Amino acid sequence: MTKTINIKTKSRTEFVDITDEVSRLIKESSIKNGICCLFVPHTTAGITINEGADPSVKRDILTTLNRLIPFEGDYQHTEGNSAAHIKSTLTGVSITVIFENSNLLLGTWQSIFFCEFDGPRHRRVILKITSS
């Protein structure tokens, strides 16, 4: 089963918590136990799992990425968004999560984040939900 999450980002860089939406789509499927592969079909965005309980963690990650990979640099790409491409490469564009009894098997503090590096934009995350 394939599903899509549509996201409208608001900032140049941001982490959008999509955990509840992923969980909802899994619960709506007829599959109770399996894996969910999440894929971001954009070259200037990514996806990651990290702490969702304390919002300062995602702020710290974004601040560090922006410091390490500044928007302005000696980049050759003429669109002016090379930093976003590099950040996407570092975070990656896919993750896989396990679920049992329609519940994500994330750690206590873990959340799933869509990572915007070239916003604001309309974005998608594609989910492939399969039984184990």
Evaluate if residue 23 carries a pLDDT over 90: yes
Mean pLDDT of 98-106: 98
Contact call for residues 117 and 14 (beta carbons, < 8 A): no
The string of pLDDT tens digits covering residues 1-15 is 999 999 999 999 999
d(CA 109, CA 103): 15
The CATH number of the domain holding residue 87 is 2.60.120.460
The pLDDT of residue 114 is 98
Contact call for residues 74 and 130 (beta carbons, < 8 A): no
Mean pLDDT of 96-108: 97
Mean pLDDT of 114-121: 98
Q: What percent of the chain has pLDDT over 90?
A: 95
C-alpha count within 13 angstroms, C-beta hemisphere, residue 73: 15
- Average per-residue pLDDT in the chain? 97
- For the chain, the domain total comes to 1
Domain membership of residue 70 as a residue range? 2-131
Evaluate if residue 79 carries a pLDDT over 90: no
